[in-house]
Structure 1
Amino acid sequence: MKTAFGDSCDWQTLAKHLKAIIQTLDIGDSNLASRLKNTLMVVCEDSTYFRQHALGIADKVSVEAFIRDSGLNVPRTLEELITLNGQVVKRAQTPPLGNFSGALSWPAPPGTQDQRSIVTLLQGTTTQLPGLPLADEQKGTLGYLLSGSAVSEADLKKPTVAIEKLLGSAKAQALGQAIQTQLGGYATDSSRNEYLLAAIHLGLDPESLDAPAPGTVAGFDLAREAHRGQGAKTIVDNLAQHLLDKGRVTAQTACLGARLLLAKAAPEFLVKDIPRSVTYGSLTWAQLAIAAARIEADTPGRSLSMNYAEVLACAAELNTGSAVLQDIQKKAMTDWAVANGLLTHATPTDTELETVRVEYNRQMLALTTASSLAKTPIPSRREMALDALKAAFPDLDPALFEVEGMIGVFRVPGRTGRVDGPRSMLDIVMHGKKLGEHEHWESADKRLPAAAFCVLRESGKLEVAEPFESEYDQAITAAKKGHQGLAQALLATLPPQDRKNLEYGELEFFHTNEYKMGFGMVIAPSQTLKKRGHTLRVKTTLGGEVNIYEIDTKAGTVEKQNFRIRRYTPPYTDKNLHRVDGDLISKTVLFKPFKDEQPDLAKAQPSAGDKLPAFGSARSEYIGRVFAESLDLRNQDLSDQARGVTSFDKEAASLKAVGEFFLNLIPLRSAIVNFSNGDIGAGLFDLSLDFIGLVTLGAGKAAQAGKAFSKGISSVRGAAKAARFVGAAAIEVFNPLSGAGDLAQGVGRLIKKGASRLISKSIDGVNRLRGASASYDLLKAASQQHGAAAIGTFKVAGEIVDGGAVLHKGQWYALDAEKLQPYGSPLEAFVPNTHAMKGVIRAKEIPQGAQLDNTLHTAFKVPESTITGLSRNSQGVYTAANGHQSFIRHTDQRGQQAVYEVRQITRSEDGMIQARIYHNNRQTELLVQHVQGDQWQRLGARGGYPSRVNSDCGREIGSGVQAVLYESRDGASVYKCFDTDIESFDINAVFNQADALNLYYGEGFAEAVNSMGSVYIKMKKLDGVSLASFQAESLPVEVRGLLDDVFRSLEEKNIFQGDLHLGNFLYSARDKKIYPVDISPNSRSDLNVGDPLPEDLMDDYELFKADLYNDLNKLLMPA
């Protein structure tokens, strides 16, 4: 584990260096190579790199060397450097312990039975470990490991530090080993820790074993009504208290326990720097939940180190699979709808969910529109004038625009004299004053282009005053509308009772400005506006209860301020409402902008009982209007500030307070998010976060310099096309089977909670192992590393899923396709489809009668060019660009290839992909089934070849030249169905096989049946893996003795196997036995099963037996 933390430290160090290099480079900068070579980095002493390169404590390595030695390409251009930076940042942000749930976050996590086994182990005496069984079962594994540990109280405040210390102890490792042994888990460098983390979770959340209700963790309802409108910290603290009340943690470990559970179950609660307005149940909370879940689905634990804006930005970059994305969105939509009274339950129908989706999109559009409008920049007449002058005189020093050297004079001969001035060009353009018909501007200052200025003025090309008035009016209208919308949106983030107070109570509004008093020689002191108020306080009275709320769109809050109740109690006199502090006076007024409107919405409104107020209700719209009106955006001093002071104005009044108000008007003007890693930190993009919880994306300094948007840069997937608001895009219509295609249709009815993510992960893993061009490079690599590897099907919670696996000591173990690392307990009923050994794909043998011979079906073929440019999916199908046509390419037993059009692509109940071949838009008699890659086989009329003999036949688990094996529905038996059409078929041999099986295993083990043209043997299912599946030197030497036992027993019963090869024997690591499965007696027609073998046949038998032992010896480990 120390190595994992050391490696993470190295990636973080590299990320910091790359960020620094990117920020200082320009496109085409030739110094990149030297910067990489000359920038030195410290390597963590616990890391893999430090150990592999035998470094000393004081040694440093170049960034270039570290990149190269880590198996990454050294970038040659800035574009390549930015791409590399993205890869490095992801590794740096991925914690070594993921989301702290260990085995529970594996692609195929332990089943309920295995999880219960962990709990049973902790409560039993089988491990003989000190402290077990647990003295206090309530404290679980966490309490057991903390007892006597070196974890300090300070460590407990940092989950990563605490867990690292906890898992590193000898006590923890011994328990991890015991759990791994109990479950038969595949041993890796991290497997013991992953089992320990799973055990910790099961101790904290034993309810997870019994199908808990949605939204609950450890029996604690995260979605309870009391949490609506509350911040994340409040809910985390409540969960911690719940765990303490249950006795599962101590006061010191309560926070740690809560954070460990939420890291897996609801990571959005642990995101850093969540704005105060992003409360549970709000729109922006749903946005956060979706973003965090997308990140966790891609890289468990990554969101835990990120802040709010980083989470939204990172999620927008991810290419989340459709099925997983919709699963995430549906959950977030459901939680949001329940919290806002749009749903009464957490299991909505498709129709209900569609209604919720539409309403969510409507509210999100209203929120983003309001935010955009509130950020409308107020035009400056001065800036508009300067821009016009710079455009007209690009070569002129801008400082000359403010030189007061322009004089207005008569231009009529005989008339002289000054009519105006001196003025600056800027003053003239800002003011917009036009001289008389016989007047013009001239200047004695030769630096000023007076003549050209006059021509442009007279042509109207320097007209600013009138456009300013129009733009100012539009900006004020937009800002007013925006702040009204933001105020409405903020009301929806409050807890239910506060929303009801504001919706149904009697309302009174109060607005405050601050003034500075001046004391001169005059009788009455003067008052100068010091601070214009941008907040509004609302007093509500409902059922005799008074509450005070302050609305602040800049801070993005509606805050309860009941400490002001006494101040806002009648009579509303200056004495009660005004406050004096030295020379400052705070003036509060009772604000009634719409007192003459009817109906008077300030009066108490009829209550709707327990029903939550609707978003955008008439009352919330009224409060929003009052707030916007309180800003008094049409005030003369505001327009004066925007116009700016010119020499035409008689006095330049102090507008500092007004200018400050304009700055405060824009929500969170200073909240530009600074990122430590990634493209944001590299200066490619600016992310601006407002306190309402919306994040906006814009081109940063580097991007504006041309460093971004270059080909190949992936950040928010094409920022030039990115939405203004990150993560706030509309939710698209839900497609029940989106992203899974035909593959999901066969199992759609079986999908349970979390299954869609498992299916998506399995499809993604299969695609990764197969490769985009069906090269199977990763599968081959896995087989080189682990011996035998395969893509196939296995059972998870009773359901069949696709995935990769490796063979280890006679058992198949799931393969993590990303890490190429086996994990977990032996798989249940794994059936390989595509098999690789020592880096070579092994062809799958197809029974002769099931072979699809391309030479016999030439008439049905389509040109090879039909699939040019198309990729084969995990189902073996090539889909046309229009999505309406599908094709297969088949390589037959002679190696000849042909392309066919297929339709009716389905998945059988046993997980096999089947399709019907079509020609000239007509169905043919050819029903085919995918074998592997571009290999298909022909099926009989009932979907299998040889056909399934009855409804008890389940999935296919094997095949040979003469027969196909099917597992029974209950998994207890096997049907061996024979191909009666092949020339070598012998009905007597079938019955002889059944007799031999019964003679060896006992009467009743097998039964031969000949019924309605179907011939099969039904036998009991045996545990084990075919000896033919093992790689060289992988079996324990004891296996030879087990095979000796088999032959001794066979021969004692006069059973002499006539088809001796490794594929006809199963090795069961569990039972420590070898089982013969295809006992075809070596006999003549004149002999019966059990008769002694004649001498002339015995010699051949011994030769074949010797060959079998010779093949077996190659598989045995060296003595």
Structure 2
Amino acid sequence: MTAISNSRFSELYTPQLASAVPQPQSARLEVATELPGTRQTSLQDKDQWLASIYGGTLRDLLGDNQDYREVEVDRIPWNSSLGQTRALMLKLLGSPAFKDWAKQNDVDLSKPLTINVDSGTLDVTTTGAKQRNPFDFSPPTPTAKSLDIHSFTGWPLLMSVAKTLAGPGNVVSFDTASTATTATIADIARFHGHAVPSDRILSPSQRQASIQQLLDKLQDPDSDTYNERFNFPPQQYLNNQVSELGDLNNRNAVIGVISNVVNEKAKDLEDLEAELQFWQKRSGYEETIEKLQLTIKQRLQNVLDTPVEIDPTSSYFRDHNLKPDVAVTLRDYLVGHGIVLPTNASELKNIAQSLANPPIEKPAHGNLGGAHSWPTPMSNDDRRALAAMTSKFLEGQPENTLLAYLTRGVEYRQNFGASFLEDRSRGIDNVLEFPNVKKFALAAEREFGEIASPNVIADWMLTALYDSLDPLSINATSPDSNRTKVAGFDLANMNLSGMNAQDIYATLSDHLRETGVTNHYNGVLAMEVLLARKAPELLVKDIPETLTKGTHSWVSFVTAVARIEAEAPGSTSRMTYAQVMMRHELAPITLADKLVEQQAQTDALKDWGVYNGVLTRSSTDQYSEEDMAKVRAAFNEQMHQLNESSKTFATPFPVLHEMAVASIKEQNPHLSEEQIKRKVLTPKDSGFLEFPGPYSLVDILINAERHHKDVALDSYTSSDKDIDLSTIALRKFTNSFVVSTFEAQLSVLFDRFERATQTQVKNLISKLPVEDRNIIEHGKITVSREVDVTYSGASNTPVGLEPSPHSIIVQSEFVDASGRKGIHTYEIDGPNNIIRKREDLNDKTPATIPGIPDKSTGPLPPVGDSVVRTRSLIPIVPDGDYKEDVLAPRSNDNVNNAPNSFASEKTQYIADALVKKISIRDNAESLRGTTAFDGEVPFWQKIEDFVVGLIPGYNAVKNFIAGNWREGLIDVAFDVFGFLLAGAGGAVRAAGAGARAGSSAFGSTAKRLVRGAIGALNPIDPKGIAQGFVQEGITYLANSGPGRNNQPSFKIKYDPVKIFRNVENATIGNANMQGTTTAIAATQKNGKWYALDPVSKQPFGLPLKDFVPSA
């Protein structure tokens, strides 16, 4: 049995969903073997037949005047390499998946398509019918358009076939009306690897010379170009591509089945699930709950019994030995692909969304790990040997580091400027062309032997460069964890808490320069190589500045990055924050993906626990299960409070008028809402009403209750013949019921609003840098309100004006580690959701002022500007019971550790002080003055204006959203606590999250990050994971105890005999892999053995030193 790296779990679960772009070369061994080739004689014969037809046609064109490039050959053998490849392209372009994609993008499939395999674009002609004005009856206007090919679910296969047809070029055009056995001379020439003149018009002599050149290449077996003919895809590769198309058809069929089921039965399931949740919150209804659970399970079983049409050319059909016309259920398909069966409607939808999501494009050089990212990474012994060779190689060179040597004489601005960061893969390609890079790679190969790799130079350069930048990773002797260390820099350092990605990146970059690892010019390359594998989240584009390390949003972000990196290493450096988080919105559907997510979140929670004072940091990065359970509980509690607070701030304010209208409408259905609001009623006697009217029914109902009277409609006359008071009836005490209901809802909202404000303050303090959090937690604090005080009149009465009516001032007298005492002042501004330092108040001492009540928290009457004001701080004492020493200084023995600010009693005191300062209830009561209805603002509207004005971000939203500002307020409510796509403080919609990262064909542009609000994931039982594997030969997962990064070292065991039984040139034997004798498969080249990757079946790595073939 052999182990596979943890990072490759998902590839083994869903091999047919792999996102790598298959290449003709990659279907065969990347190194030439000593065994016979894999091409069948029959295929060779057909290709030779095509070559003879091609040559004959060229000879016929000698002396002809026409442009030979467009001459069609209609006798292409259907079973030749070209014939099969063209047939595959036609089938792919005619597949249901591609037709659906074309329809969504308004593509006219009757027109030729041009695929650029280099840029990944598809040039098409649109029908012109999409997004037309329904009243526009003019003929559609077709237009030329370039589309991103990566938005098509089957783009890897499309790109692979296109590359084969394009030969040495990068562009291929295809007409869906063409046939597989007809192609132009230019098409055939490109497929043979022959260069075709690109000039639009050729002179007669140029045409003849070009034709003769092609004929000479065909007749010269020693020509380099001629030998390209033997690089045609082998039959097995062509067969595999046909299977891939079959797999794509299967996936599209499954998506269609689920979509139909969702449309027909999802609402029923969702209603049952909502009913189940309702009863689960109540006790004594176990029987009802059990019946509902059984009903839901039965309904889902019925859904999973839905038949799915399986393509007979697919790998699933072949691997499961299916027979034609034998039904396969949705359950069979999902289980056969390692997909966890859904337990509710939401999970069912998520499966369809995930299957419809295009795979991510893998960068050419992955995560820049070189040999560190091989299926079995280079051993530490080999790494140390490479490091020693590197040191010896640099002897006598003017540079003392490998980085400086590799970049000698390079134009830094040209190679490491903005273009490098924009397209890192292309930037690394440029680096590989540096003269010294090739020199070093050749020297390494001479020392260690040839490695099996698609890009030998890249692997040698990236491996050696990383180890030279981070020598401690191979030479460390301390027990410290290597998970967060890079080049001597600790990415989990306490001082990074509260920093955003840009600042952390800059801090690491400064460290590398200060320690002499890099200089101002080559630091970009070093940062890319170091971070792409160790901290790829720092390379993601457009990360909001408000997203900071140590927050729950950071946990969600790094978990999302890890999930994508497991699927496509290195890909997140090409993605934006919005693309990463939108992809994360799709929950994992396989056990392997779930495990990747759980392990990534566990690492992130360790750092979160340390930053938030829940854990005391362990230098070995190892924590007990009890410690991790404590972290998960604290994280879940904080997430619960933040979620509830977001919902509170987003809760619609109760509107008394709307409640009154609804009540009147319910009792008088013959009235419209407009009639109920129509002001046409005049009192016969003005009585208790302030004005004679006219009034509406709503006005009368509400005003009667405010004067403790019941509604008496016979006291009014109507000036509108459509509103006959004799036909209108209101139950007794209707007004009392409506108003009391409104008051009850208002009271509940006030309670929730106060709790949300407390949570907001706790969240703001917990997001501060550790230094500031320690100052607040360990210092002697006071909480005050800021007041400008003056004295007026002969009595010299103090009068105050609060410059920030909804802010509080926190002062801390703090003694640092050196014994220096100082005053630190902070302003907590709720409506603007910020804590700012107020050094201008450091010299102010909070004190009560006679004549200004200590507990008066509302704004005091202002005075004229000509009067001198004195800035003062007046203490605020919140309501509640606290320890007597709650404000006293704490011991700073553990000041180097982070305090648990969110759950601190001192933080709670500060939060309660802001609630007291705002005094929602007192201010609301003061707004209940008598209000007329005609042209006046009702009291409930004034209360709403006051309360929503306290919601963080309200003022900004009201300023840029016209009309329905309440909708924008909901966005901000979730943005405040980091649950919006833009990140905390962004409050903007993200657009175009798909791009190359792939966007779901099902998903919407929902702004709220639903999965960003989930708590800690429950640990997955590794014993159950092996059941989810679908690749034969994988037997179980073993837990070898704490491993790297303190994660259980889950290792997938596989049987090489079963895995490689159908792979030609694979020999089973034993070799020493990472210090253990292991059964593996290998292939031979130049008398040396190379291990085979159990996933891709390709050789990799250094020659095996002690491989012994089995008997």
Q: TM-score, normalised by structure 1?
A: 0.55
| Alignment partner, residue 1112 of structure 1 | none
Trace 1:335-414 onto structure 2 (pairs within 5 A): 335-341=607-613, 342-345=615-618, 346-385=621-660, 398-408=673-683
Match of 2:746 among 456, 472, 490: 472
The answer to whether the aligner puts 1:99 opposite 2:376 as a matched pair is no
Structure 1 Cα separation of the partners of residues 915 and 774 of structure 2: 21
- Within 1, Cα distance between the matches of 2:522 and 2:384? 24
Residue 378 of structure 2 corresponds to which residue in structure 1? 110
Distance 1:823 1:436 in 2: 87
Q: Deviations over 1:956-994 (max 9, x none)?
A: x735xxxxxxxxxxxxxxxxxxxxxxxxxxxxxxxxxxx
Asked if 1 retains the 8 angstrom alpha-carbon contact of 2:1069 and 2:1110, the reply is no
Once the two structures are superposed, residues 291-318 of structure 1 have per-residue CA deviations (whole angstroms, 9 ceiling, x without a partner) of 3323322322233344556544533533
In the other structure, the counterpart of 2:81 is: none
Name the structure with the higher helix share. Answer: 2
Against the structure 1 CA distance between its residues 693 and 102, is the aligned structure 2 distance closer, same or farther, given a 3 Å change threshold? farther
Hey, what's the Cα distance between the residues in 2 that align with 1:106 and 1:181?
20
In structure 2, do the counterparts of structure 1 residues 235 and 581 end up closer, same or farther at CA, with 3 Å as the change threshold? farther
CA contact (8 A) 1:405 1:422 kept: yes
Question: Which of 834, 837, 851 is matched with 1:560 structurally?
Answer: 837
For the residues of structure 1 that align with 2:940 and 2:947, how far apart are their CA atoms?
A: 13
Residues 1:558 and 1:687: Cα distance change in structure 2 (over 3 Å): closer
Alignment of 1:954-1033 (within 5 A): 958=1110
1:544-571 per-position Cα deviation (integer Å, ceiling 9, x unaligned): 4111223245555433332443577889
Shift of 1:738: 6.5
Q: Which of 909, 921, 926 lines up with 1:622 in the alignment?
A: 909
Q: Which letter maps to 1:958?
A: S
Aligned partners of 2:622 and 2:1046 also within 8 Å: no
Aligned partner (choices 147, 165, 184) of residue 41 of structure 1:
147
Deviations 1:652-672 (A, max 9, x none): 699889737615505679899
Secondary structure of the corresponding residue to residue 607 of structure 1? coil
| Alignment match of 2:948 (pick from 662, 674, 698) | 662
Cα 1:650–1:372 change in 2 (3 A) is closer
**Alignment partner of 1:289 is 2:558:** yes
Report the Cα offset of residue 402 of structure 1: 3.4
2:269 corresponds in structure 1 to none
If asked which structure has higher relative contact order (CA below 8 Å, sep 6+), I would say 2
> What is the letter of the counterpart of residue 138 of structure 1?
T
Counterparts of 1:802 and 1:322 in 2: how far apart (Å)? 28
Mark the CA change 1:598 to 1:141 in structure 2 (over 3 Å): closer, same or farther. closer
1:163 is matched with which residue?
Answer: 428
1:755 positional shift:
10
Higher strand share: 1
1: CA distance between counterparts of 2:921 and 2:802? 19
Alpha-carbon displacement from aligned partner over 1:13-42 (angstroms, at most 9, x marks no partner): 899999x9999999xxxx9xx999986538
User: What is the 5 A alignment of 1:831-910?
Assistant: none
Amino acid at match of 1:114: D
For 2:153, the equivalent position in structure 1 comes to none
> Does the CA-based 8 Å contact 2:710-2:733 persist in structure 1?
no
Q: For residues 826 and 35 of structure 1, what CA distance do their matches in structure 2 show?
A: 61
* Bigger mean CA offset, 570-579 vs 440-449: 570-579
Describe the superposition over 1:727-758 as per-residue Cα deviations: whole angstroms up to 9, x where unpaired.
Answer: 53233247576635898988533763169798
Say if 1:694 and 1:726, in contact at 8 Å, map to a contact too: yes
Asked if the contact 1:273/1:308 (under 8 Å) is kept, the reply is yes
**1:197 matches 2:458:** no
Give the whole-Å Cα distance in 2 for the aligned partners of 1:804 and 1:577. Answer: 86
Q: Spell out the pairing of 1:614-1013 with structure 2 (5 A cutoff).
A: 614=900, 615-637=902-924, 640=927, 647=933, 659=945, 662-666=948-952, 690-695=975-980, 724=1010, 726=1012, 728-733=1014-1019, 735=1021, 739=1025, 748-749=1039-1040, 752-753=1043-1044, 762=1052, 780=1062, 783=1063, 787-789=1064-1066, 795-799=1072-1076, 813-815=1090-1092, 821-826=1098-1103, 958=1110
Describe the shift of the 1:419–1:484 C-alpha distance in structure 2 as closer, same or farther (beyond 3 A): closer
- Give, in whole Å, the separation in 2 of the partners of 1:173 and 1:645: 84
Shift of 1:456: 4.8
| C-alpha displacement of 1:591 | 4.6
SS in 2 for 1:693: coil
Q: Which has the larger radius of gyration?
A: 1
* Corresponding residue of 1:594: 878
Provide the residue aligned with 1:484 in structure 2.
Answer: 758
* Alpha-carbon distance between aligned partners in 2 of 1:381 and 1:226, rounded to the nearest angstrom: 51
Q: Which amino acid aligns with 1:729?
A: G
Give the TM-score normalised by the residue count of structure 2. Answer: 0.56
Contact 2:664 2:730 in 1 (8 A): no
| 1:472 partner SS | helix
Q: Letter of the aligned partner of 1:605 in structure 2? A: P
Shift in Å, 1:113: 3.3
Distance 1:545 1:425, change over 3 A: same
C-alpha contact 1:41 1:60 (8 A) present in aligned 2: no
Structure-1 separation of matches of 2:831 and 2:1079: 52
- Counterpart in 2 of 1:537? 809
Q: What do you get for the CA RMSD once the two structures are aligned?
A: 6.2
Q: Deviations over 1:405-450 (max 9, x none)?
A: 234569xxxx9x9997421244345556465557366634244475
Deviations 1:627-684 (A, max 9, x none): 222232224458859x997616867699889737615505679899xxxxxxxxxxxx
Distance 1:205 1:422 in 2: 82
Q: Structure 1 residues 695 and 270, CA, compared in 2 at 3 Å: closer, same or farther? A: same
**Per-residue CA shift, 1:751-784, capped at 9, x if unaligned?**
6316979855x56xx69x99xxx9x7x985xx3x
Does structure 1 residue 119 correspond to structure 2 residue 383? Answer: no
Q: 2: distance between equivalents of 1:701 and 1:240?
A: 30
Structure 1 gaps, min length 5: 126-130, 516-523, 673-684, 703-711, 832-956, 960-1119
Extract unaligned runs of 5+ from structure 2: 1-19, 24-114, 151-157, 179-240, 261-348, 790-795, 816-820, 853-858, 959-969, 990-998
Using a 3 Å threshold, how does the CA distance of structure 1 residues 374 and 408 change in structure 2: closer, same or farther?
same
Contact preservation (8 Å) 1:375, 1:667: no
Describe the superposition over 1:875-925 as per-residue Cα deviations: whole angstroms up to 9, x where unpaired: xxxxxxxxxxxxxxxxxxxxxxxxxxxxxxxxxxxxxxxxxxxxxxxxxxx
1:506 to 773, 777, 780: 780
CA distance in 2, matches of 1:755, 1:801: 24
Cα offsets for 1:481-538 (capped at 9, x unmatched): 01102212332233333223212333333446999xxxxxxxx9xx999997443331
- Conservation of the 8 A alpha-carbon contact between 2:407 and 2:434: no
Structure 2 partner of 1:137: 400
Q: Work out whether residues 453 and 1101 of structure 2, in 8 Å CA contact, stay in contact via their aligned partners in 1.
A: no
In the other structure, the counterpart of 1:241 is: 510
Secondary structure of the structure 2 residue equivalent to 1:825:
coil
**Matched position secondary structure for 2:920:** coil
Q: 2:694 matched to which residue of 1?
A: 422
**Partners in 2 of 1:443 and 1:165 — Cα distance?**
85
Does residue 496 of structure 1 match 2:770? Answer: yes
Retained in 2: the 8 A contact 1:323–1:740? Answer: no
- Cα distance, 1:736–1:197 mapped onto 2, change above 3 Å: same
Partner residue of 1:604? 888
Taking a change above 3 Å as real, the CA distance of residues 352 and 567 of structure 1, as seen in their structure-2 partners, is closer
1:265 deviates by 0.9
Shift of residue 579, structure 1, vs aligned partner: 11
Letter in 2 for 1:251: H
2:92 corresponds to: none
Map Cα deviations across residues 1049-1099 of structure 1 (whole Å, 9 max, x no partner): xxxxxxxxxxxxxxxxxxxxxxxxxxxxxxxxxxxxxxxxxxxxxxxxxxx
Aligned residues between the structures: 765
Distance 1:42 1:587, change over 3 A: same
What is the SS of the residue equivalent to 1:507? strand
Aligned to 2:606: 334
Aligned counterparts of 1:639 and 1:697: Cα–Cα separation in 2? 38
Following TM superposition, by how much is the alpha carbon of 1:626 offset from its aligned partner in structure 2, in angstroms?
0.9
